[in-house]
Structure formats: structure tokens, C-alpha cells
Chains A and B, each alone.
Chain A
């Protein structure tokens, strides 16, 4: 590989801008800068060094910050597209066909287009995932490419730098000491810098005072955190890492918990509480009658014995009783059960009275538990009601037979056979809500409707996410990195005393010039150094309006 040999004799890798040893500018471009570009300390960014094979070209593509920033913006725009209309998972329809209709009906032809283009589920689209993935690759490669050489260069810093490096720093000073004995100047500087918590190294007549070097690693640390986080998200796809199921369970029922083998849940009670506040202005404006205060399902969690098979539910062991509320999921063995939804007042029981039509005389009550209807309901030894048919969700007749659309008691219908002393052979009657059919002509008796019992239903979701610890670690690393990179800064001050006793000073910080100047002011005063100048500011002021130097209060 080509090397660049500096005037000081040091061999630098190709692409280096500032000599690794003495700091001399090495390229024409850098030599023409009035103030050196100190990004990455002038190291050779790995990708910039070679550009030959296809592997190198791809590598260099991802290593570029320009590409990285472009990817950030592309991701940003792609993510925003998904918020134009609601995403599919927030639309409450069951089938794909209904979904398409929903988007068209609600949002017109734009909605249809949105759906057709797949933007209604943009975050799970292949191209969005690829975009995020590309950003991930960019983060990894750009960090590797810059982080490693930067680390090496910071570790091997020389105390003494060449004049051409010193003079081209943003903040510089040169000249004789303003007072006192120039022989003591460096000692004074060293002492004061140590007071300001700088790490001071001294080699002969040169000093390098450095503080907060670790701040330079902040960006790389936070990128590691991001990568760990993305990795965690990816791991979800591996089998067994992630469970996301939902279930409905009615009060009084025991159901198997999907995704959580061997566990069952019993819904003891669903509770809905409302705030009893006076209607607020916002409620009136939005037509909201009452604001919910609590959604709660009291549950019992059961577990099968270890050797039990699916379907064997006779020996369930009670594991836990818990009240699942929003923000208070039931947690067990890495699984969590969340209160998500509810349905109130589903029919549970219906009460009838066996009634003589003519007189209205009631022979007895019959209450039918819809969760467990019986074959016959005996009133006395001569009077009984037989249940010939039960159709929980009556949807009409087909070939003379009643049909049920689902197994849910949305519209219960019954066929009764009423046996009474008066009609010992029985009378048959079909009874549904708002509909009675008497197939054998006019009956003497009827089942008159008396009332209902209801129960509620809870919608729960079941989650297990074994990637959470990885995400937490990623998050912590990221936050640490961001904090280190943002709240600390790397300040360096080079001081050299020339043969004739004059002082040459240069200072650099990766950010927060305001503070480093404060430090400089302090050592300038203590060690009687020549006044430093900010070359960037000077430049700006020279081609701007004439202004008073350092007019920072306004």
C-alpha cells in the first residue's frame, strides 16, 4: 500500500490528512486551509484509502456519512407516509376485502390508492424493512471505519506538534509572555491545567493538556447500542422468542391461553368503572357521556399438571389470582396478560314463564342457562318443559329447520315442548326474540318472556418477548453513548515554548468553544500567556460587519 512519508520521517497510511506524529498537513487541500479541519483528527478514514474491488466499493458506499444521512432522511419520509391514514392494525375490520372497502369508503379514491400501494401496512412491507436494514448496515460500517482509526490516533498522540499544525488550529496564540519569568511559564501552565482537571503530558518544552477524551467515543458507543437494539428486534423473528396472541374469555369460562402451553385462564369478573365527574367542556364538544376510569378483569390462572395432555382439564392447579387492569398486566414466567378489550352484557340466561294464553295464569318459571341448557325443566309431576332445540344465533329457517349463524348467543331461539295437565301430549312452540311459531296451530300455553341474565367478556392479549433484555441493554448503551457524546467534550491545548522563550499555543475542542475559551482565559491570566485569538471568528468578523470582538452579552 502506498504510504505518505511526512517531513518528520513518519510513515502515514494513504489518505491521511494530518501527519499522525507531528500534525503537519499532508495534502494540498489541507495545506490551503487557514484553520485545519480537525474532524477525526485528520486520520485516514479506512474507506477513503482504497477503492478497487466491488467489496471495497460497497463498503465505501455504506461508510459514507452522506449515504448515512440520506438513509436517515429516506427512513424518516417512509415512516411519515404511514401516518397519513390509519394503518391496518388500527382498522377494526376482519377480512382483507372489508379492509379494502373500508379505505375506499372512508378516504375515497386516495384511500383506495393508499391501500393498493400497500401503504396501509407500510411498516411490515419488505421495502421498509430493507430501508431500516440499510441504515443499520450504514451505522455499523461507518462506525467501524471511523471508530477504530480514531481510537488508534487518539491513543498514539504526540505531545509536540509541528508549527504548521499549531498555527492552523482555530484558537491560537503566539508571542512572548506578558509578565514574569518566562522560564516558569510552562510550569505555571501545567499547574493551572491540572487544576482545571486536564490530563497534562510534558515532553521537553512542549505540553499537551487534554480533557474528556472519552467523549470522542460517545457516538461509537451509542451506535453500538442502536445495533444491539436492532439485533434484538430481529431476534423476535426466531421461533420461541416472541408471542403475541389475543383471546376472548367470558365471565365464568375457563379458556386455554394461546401461545402459553399448559396454562388456562378463568374470567371471574369483568369490571368497568366510570368517572362520576361533571361533563367537561371537551366531553360536551366531543359528545362523550362518561369517561372510563377502570377496565379490570379478575382472573384465575391455572396450570395443568406437568404430565397432562392438551384437553385434560380435570386436574388444573390454581397458580395465581389477579386483577388485570390497564397498566397492570398479569405477569407469569415471562408471559404477560394484558387487559385490551371488553364486550358488555352478552346473554347468559333467559327466563320464561309457562303461561296459559287465555287467562295469563303462570304455571311456573323456567330459567335457561345458555351456557348449559338442559333437556327438560320439570315444574311438577304433570307439568314440564322440554327443550327440543337451542339455536344461539338464530338466522332463519332452512328446509323448515332453524339455523344458527355462530355459537355466540346473539339471538337465541328455542324449540320448546310444553307438557301440562291440560295438554299431556305436549304443545310445541318455536320461540325467538320477537318471533313465535307454533307449528301445530294454536297452542293453549306459551312461554312468556320474563327477563335475561347477562355476562361480560374480556379481551386479553398474551405477550412474551424474550428479546426485551437485549433491547434494554441496547437502550442503556445507547443512552450512555448519547450522554457521553453530548454532555462531555474533548478539549486539547498544545503549548510549546520556543528557543527564544516565546510561547506558541493552540487549542481544539470537538464542541463547546465557549468553555474551552474560558479555560484558556484562565491559563492566559495565570501564566501570563499572549492573548489567544479565534481564527474562525476573526475571519467571520472581517468579512462581516465590523464588530467589537467578544461581544457576547448581546
Chain B
């Protein structure tokens, strides 16, 4: 087995382990009979964390073997970076788990990591050669530290989500209930994206188009899902596939728009089916699971992970980034979209800390802020990388 195959298998093992880990954490939290429940929860929890650690080690194995194979830290394209981000989230979870021993965290952290890794797998997985600007040891230092910082910050969102799942009463119609359900709906949309991509990929769907870009040059593009939106002045080259319904101007990437459209449709269908069948909100389903968690502890974990993550993020995403930019381009700051969004993330968490320290924004408010912070991180990962083109663009 070659190194790269081994690497792929290890990632698969890690994925399975996280999946099993999630179920075990579910088991740990489910048992609510008073007699002996605490003990049983303890046992389930211990197994769950062991399985999680096995998964983490497997993924670390993936990371190292891929590094050995490619000769550079595997954080150089969308697949590699996103996968690493998922791994660091699990790592950060394990760290926080051993600080606070809160099993409920796993129930949310692992599914988030699973979704992120699955999302990563939707991107081309082959090894990409490095362009000159990425050939620097700062790639390793900057990207890994920044991703690590983001992952620790993400744990605050995990804690915040659990906090809100418990604190928001699903039986009372409030703004909080609406937005929390919206957050869960968004998670279902990500599942929709994965379902769409996996389905059409397994069907081998392919439609080739010619189109004209904004500079007037002609290019070929391959859609892997039925084209709803066509690229600027497209010409369909494949037989027996769907013709696009609408043509987009050159500034919009119609292929990505199509994927977003399908994810939205499929995700919404999944969500609606769930609502129709269960006759309940997702929130209703999750609320009882976290009934027993200690809100104060969650609040502290959320705050603590921001405190731990913020310096790491500052170091990786700003300080190291500036050093590298100075080295590569001669200016430590260039207002590139990715840089700006790193700054925005940093400013946001700075505001979070100030609000908490001096305005006493704790509990629910703090939990919501943590969720918004994570939304900004995801915006960085998804929109800034894929939509707003810049020097850092992965696609």
C-alpha cells in the first residue's frame, strides 16, 4: 500500500471513529434513569472519548503520511485545509474535554467535525503542486496555527450551541427559538450539499460546457451536477444532459451557484421531510438530550475556549500571516479579502471579550456571540475561499 493510499485509509478510519464516537456520546447522555445512571454515563463517556482519541490519532496519521507523501504540510488546498480544520476541532475538543470532562460537548463537536470533513471530501482530493508563493515553511506555521486557533474558538460555539439548546425553550415562541432552529437548518443544508455531491458523483454525472469569461477568453468547464444556471455565453458540449435554465453574467460563477442551488433544494427537502414525519422541530428533538447539562459550566467553557483560542488565532492568523506576507510580497498587510476577514474575525472576538469583561454579557448573549463568531469562521472557510477571489483563494 502506497503512502497516499494509507493516508486515505487512515482518514476513512478517523471518519468512522468520529461517527461511532458521536453515537457513544449520545448513549452517554441519553441514560437518565436515576439509579446508576451516572455510572453508566461515565462508562459510555469513557468509551466515547477513547474512540474519539483513536479517530484523532488515525487522522493525525493521515496528516503525517500525506505530509510525507507530498513533501509539504497538507494544508495547501481546500480539501486539505478543511480536513485539517476538522481534525483540529476534534483535537481542541479532546483538550477541553480533559479540562472539564463534559461529555455533552462531544455530542455536538464530533458531528460538526464530521460535517466539516465530509464537506472537505467534496473537493478534489488529489495532491496539488505548490505555486511559488506557497513554497515556504511559513505555509506550515501560519496555516496550522491559524486553523488551530479557529478550532479552539469553534469549541466556544459548540458550548454555546449546547447552552442554547438547553436554555431556549422549544415550547415558547421566541426569536431565540427561531434563530436556533435556523442554525440547525443550516447544518441540514450542509448535509444537503454532501448528499447532492455524493449522489451525482456516484452516478458519474458530467456535463461539459464552453463559456466566455469576463476577460473575453473562452474556457471549458465541467459540471458534476445538472446545470441549472449556465455560465456566460455557454455552449453545451455533452449530449443527453439537462440544458441550463438561466444564463449568468460572467462575474457570477454559475457552476458554484448551481451547486449551492441544489444543496439548498435537497437540504430543504430533507428538513421538510423531517418536520413532516416527526411533526417536531429539530430543536424539540435535541432539547431533551442536553437537559442535564450545567449551564454555568457551559458558559465558562465557552468563555475559556475563546480565551485559549484568541491568542493562538492572533498569532497564527495575524502575526505569522504578517511575517509571511512581508517575506513573500514585501508588505505585511495588503488588504487582501482573506486578510481582511481574518482581521474581522479577530475584531469580532475582541468585541466578544470586551462585552463579556466589561458589559457582563454572559450566558445566552455570550452563547449567541460564540455562534456568530463560528459563522464568521465558516464564512472565511467557505465564502472567502470560494467566492471572493484573492491571493489566498483555494479555488
Q: Do A and B come from one complex?
A: yes
A333 at the binding interface (Cβ < 8 Å): no
**Is A76 within 8 A of B351, CB to CB?**
yes
Residues of A within 8 A of B341 (CB): 80, 83
Residues of B within 8 A of A37 (CB): 360
Which of A69, A282, A294 touches B354 (beta carbons < 8 Å)? Answer: A69
**Is B319 within 8 A of A280, CB to CB?**
no
Other than the known A73-B347, A86-B390, what 20 A-B pairs have Cβ atoms closer than 8 Å?
A65-B358, A68-B354, A69-B355, A72-B350, A108-B251, A123-B335, A244-B330, A281-B125, A326-B132, A336-B330, A461-B329, A463-B331, A468-B326, A471-B332, A479-B311, A479-B314, A479-B315, A540-B295, A551-B292, A554-B103
Q: A76-B348, A79-B340 are in contact. Are A282 and B222 (CB under 8 A)?
A: no
Contact with B along A501-518 (1 / 0, CB 8 A): 000000000011110000
Q: Interface residues, chain B, CB within 8 Å of chain A?
A: 29, 38, 41-42, 45, 77, 99-104, 123-133, 135-136, 138, 214, 219-222, 249-251, 291-297, 300, 303-304, 307-308, 310-311, 314-315, 319, 322, 326-332, 334-337, 340-341, 343-344, 347-348, 350-351, 354-355, 357-360, 384, 388-390, 395
Q: Can you list 10 contacts pairing A with B, beta carbon distance less than 8 Å?
A: A39-B357, A75-B347, A76-B344, A219-B357, A280-B124, A282-B395, A291-B131, A295-B132, A471-B322, A513-B296
Contact with B along A219-232 (1 / 0, CB 8 A): 10000000000000
**Is B314 within 8 A of A552, CB to CB?**
no
How far does the Cβ of A362 sit from chain B's closest Cβ, in whole Å?
40
Q: A280-B124, A487-B308, A551-B292 are in contact. Are A512 and B129 (CB under 8 A)?
A: no
**Is B331 within 8 A of A554, CB to CB?**
no
**Is A80 within 8 A of B221, CB to CB?**
no
Q: When chains A and B are docked, how far (Å) is the Cα of A487 from the Cα of B312?
A: 11
- Which of chain A's residues has its CB closest to B341's CB? A83
Which of A69, A340, A486 touches B311 (beta carbons < 8 Å)? Answer: A486
How far does the Cβ of B81 sit from chain A's closest Cβ, in whole Å?
13
Q: A69-B354, A293-B129 are in contact. Are A281 and B293 (CB under 8 A)?
A: no
Q: Which 7 A-B pairs have the closest CB atoms?
A: A281-B124, A275-B129, A326-B132, A463-B330, A65-B358, A83-B337, A486-B307
A8 at the binding interface (Cβ < 8 Å): no
Q: A280-B128, A463-B330 are in contact. Are A327 and B135 (CB under 8 A)?
A: yes
- Which of chain A's residues has its CB closest to B78's CB? A282
How far does the Cβ of B168 sit from chain A's closest Cβ, in whole Å?
13
Q: A72-B351, A326-B135, A547-B294 are in contact. Are A487 and B311 (CB under 8 A)?
A: yes
A329 at the binding interface (Cβ < 8 Å): yes
A478 at the binding interface (Cβ < 8 Å): yes
Count how many chain A residues have C-beta atoms less than 8 Å from C-beta atoms of the other chain. 73
In A495-554, which residues have CB < 8 Å from any B CB? 511-514, 534, 536-537, 540, 544-545, 547, 550-554
How far does the Cβ of B202 sit from chain A's closest Cβ, in whole Å?
16
**Is A486 within 8 A of B308, CB to CB?**
yes
**Is B102 within 8 A of A554, CB to CB?**
yes
Residues of B within 8 A of A284 (CB): 222
- Which of chain B's residues has its CB closest to A64's CB? B358
Q: When chains A and B are docked, how far (Å) is the Cα of A82 from the Cα of B388?
A: 11
A338 at the binding interface (Cβ < 8 Å): yes
A299 at the binding interface (Cβ < 8 Å): no
**Is A540 within 8 A of B330, CB to CB?**
no
Which of B123, B327, B335, B389 touches A329 (beta carbons < 8 Å)? Answer: B327
**Is B319 within 8 A of A285, CB to CB?**
no
A483 at the binding interface (Cβ < 8 Å): yes
**Is A482 within 8 A of B344, CB to CB?**
no
Find the residue from B125, B291, B330, B344 having the highest chain A CB count within 10 A.
Answer: B330
Q: When chains A and B are docked, how far (Å) is the Cα of A512 from the Cα of B250?
A: 53
Residues of A within 8 A of B326 (CB): 468
A87 at the binding interface (Cβ < 8 Å): yes
Residues of B within 8 A of A294 (CB): 132
Residues of B within 8 A of A461 (CB): 329-330
In A28-48, which residues have CB < 8 Å from any B CB? 37, 39
Q: When chains A and B are docked, how far (Å) is the Cα of A514 from the Cα of B304?
A: 10
Q: When chains A and B are docked, how far (Å) is the Cα of A375 from the Cα of B101?
A: 88
Q: When chains A and B are docked, how far (Å) is the Cα of A539 from the Cα of B370?
A: 24
Which of A282, A292, A545 touches B77 (beta carbons < 8 Å)? Answer: A282
Residues of B within 8 A of A511 (CB): 303-304, 307
Contact with B along A260-302 (1 / 0, CB 8 A): 0000000000000001010011111111000111110000000
Q: A282-B77, A482-B314, A487-B311 are in contact. Are A79 and B131 (CB under 8 A)?
A: no
**Is A106 within 8 A of B214, CB to CB?**
yes
**Is B330 within 8 A of A329, CB to CB?**
yes
Which of B129, B300, B329, B359 touches A291 (beta carbons < 8 Å)? Answer: B129
A214 at the binding interface (Cβ < 8 Å): no
Residues of B within 8 A of A479 (CB): 311, 314-315, 319
**Is A82 within 8 A of B340, CB to CB?**
yes
Which of A512, A547, A553 touches B101 (beta carbons < 8 Å)? Answer: A553
Residues of A within 8 A of B135 (CB): 326-327
Residues of A within 8 A of B389 (CB): 86
Residues of A within 8 A of B329 (CB): 338, 340, 461
Residues of A within 8 A of B330 (CB): 244, 329, 336, 338, 461, 463
Residues of B within 8 A of A241 (CB): none
